[in-house]
Amino acid sequence: MLVAMSRVAVGIGLRDEYVDELLRGTDRATLDVLEILIDGGLEPGRRRTQWRRLGAKWPLVAHGTNLGVADAEGVDLDYVAAVQATVREVRPLWYSEHLAFVRAGGIELGHFGPVDADPETLDVLRANAACVRDGLRCPFVLENAADVLGFGGADGAARGRAFARALEVSGSGALLDLTNAIYDARNEGFDVADYLDNVPWWRVVQLHLAGGCAHDGLWIDGHSARIDAEALTLLPEVARRAPNLRAVIIERDEHLPPLVELLDEVQEVRSRLAEAGRR
């Protein structure tokens, strides 16, 4: 078991720069959970060994970026098999991916393409998700991807309903990236509350929190800064609305700080969750 249902685990996205320090002597109590980037360990080797060692100290959840669960041409079966094998060896509590397509016509898009709620797209999503889930041996969870290009439109409620419908069709749990939702709202001029009001909260098992910046007026969740202030403000309400929330992960990929600074953010998140009675 990760934690009791009323208590939400807080952790960080594991990055290579932190592995040695975490293995060497980081107090187990400073973190509740670690999120591994599964695409970095699809081949047996040193990284999987590190994950197993870390997994003896903290529960793990797995996150991916290359699946393309909504790709019209179907998912790469060799890739899916590699993910499934890695999951069986490392034994994360669940495996999450982005609700998006990442390639079309054999071309890698270089960003996450948003999923439409039209019947044809949902049929593809249903089949691809079933393929991934078969043999996975852990729950499959889908994340709302950042819509930097604004394909989802300026109707926050419609975006929330589309997310809910996609999760229903795929039979998946939800990873709500709160920063993505906030930045999409800023970029498209809708109220993030309209989006959140349509999220199927009972499906939400994990949150992502991060910080980014604005470039020429466009907010980008680059995982490059401390958690966005608005995300921290919304966190207690979000935690109260999600009865099955099990984990909150802080993401950082650029301008990596010393581990101790990330652990300070973990404590800040724990304090916000305590406001909601989830610590």
Report pLDDT digits (tens) over 218-239. Answer: 988 898 999 999 999 999 999 9
Which residues, including other chains, have CB under 8 Å from residue 260's CB and lie 6 or more apart? none
Counting beta carbons within 10 angstroms of the beta carbon of residue 118, is it exposed (0 to 12), middle (13 to 18) or buried (19 or more)?
Answer: exposed
Name the H helices within 134-201.
156-170, 178-188, 192-196
pTM above 0.75, yes or no: yes
Looking at domain 9-275, its CATH superfamily turns out to be: Divalent-metal-dependent TIM barrel enzymes (3.20.20.150)
Structure tokens at 233: 């403000």
For the chain, what are the domain ranges?
A: 9-275
Report pLDDT digits (tens) over 57-92. Answer: 999 999 999 999 999 999 999 999 999 999 999 999
Tell me the β-bridge partners of 186: none
Report pLDDT digits (tens) over 125-174. Answer: 999 999 999 989 999 999 999 887 777 788 999 999 999 999 999 999 99
Q: Classify 274 as helix, strand or coil.
A: helix
| Cα(229)–Cα(35) distance, integer angstroms | 22
Contact predicate 142/132, CB 8 Å: no
